[in-house]
């Protein structure tokens, strides 16, 4: 059993080293194929391996994703995915942050993106709802038609 666990740790170490080497090449800040998703994988790997250097690299990569100037609000490549990672890292105590202070403006933008996408039947807008799975509070925004929308999460 101990040998099996060592094999798993070795595979995770190889994975983390490979991903870390390529981390500077990621152009997207998003979750699926970008810096935020890679940072999440590196954070989990660092915790499993008890590796502070890897954790520091994950933190630096995630900070880069938060500095993105991309206007995409979607889950896969945009701010909804970055917000999901932020909330996940906070919830599982990888980082200590005030989600409201750091991400409140983006939450309203993401809500607008989802509402607009659903109203226009845009493919992919529904995926952004996954963003809210990690946010531990009620989100309220004013819909385009002037009616207040409330999502209790």
Query: pLDDT tens across 90-125, in order?
Result: 989 999 988 778 888 888 888 888 877 777 766 555
| Secondary structure string (H, E, C) spanning 81-137 | HHHHHHHHHHHCCCCCCCHHHHHHHHHHHHHHHHHHHHHCCCCCHHHHHHHHHCCCC
Candidate from 16-25, 63-72, 79-88, 129-138 with smallest mean pLDDT = 129-138
Inter-residue contact 57 to 112 (CB < 8 Å): no
What DSSP string runs through 22-38?
Answer: HGGG----SSSSSHHHH
Instruction: State pLDDT tens for residues 34-72.
Output: 999 999 999 999 999 999 999 999 999 999 999 988 888
Residue with tokens 């059993």: 1
pTM of the model: 0.78
Query: Tell me, what's the pLDDT at 63?
Result: 94
pLDDT higher than 60, residue 137: no
> Pick the residue with more confidence: 128 or 81?
81
| Contacts of residue 95, Cβ cutoff 8 Å, sequence gap at least 6 | 59, 62, 86, 89
């Amino acid at each position: 059993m101990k040998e099996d666990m060592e094999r798993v740790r070795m595979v995770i170490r190889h994975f983390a080293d490979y991903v870390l080497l390529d981390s500077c090449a990621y152009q997207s800040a998003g979750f699926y194929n970008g810096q935020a998703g890679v940072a999440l994988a590196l954070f989990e790997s660092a915790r499993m391996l008890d590796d502070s250097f890897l954790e520091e690299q994950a933190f630096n990569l995630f900070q880069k994703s938060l500095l993105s100037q991309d206007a995409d609000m979607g889950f896969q490549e945009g701010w909804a995915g970055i917000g999901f990672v932020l909330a996940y890292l906070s919830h599982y105590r990888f980082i200590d942050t005030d989600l409201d202070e750091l991400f409140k403006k983006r939450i309203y933008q993401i809500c607008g993106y989802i509402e607009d996408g659903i109203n226009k039947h845009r493919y992919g807008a529904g995926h952004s709802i996954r963003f809210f799975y990690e946010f531990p509070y009620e989100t309220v925004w004013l819909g385009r038609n002037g009616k207040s929308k409330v999502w209790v999460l």
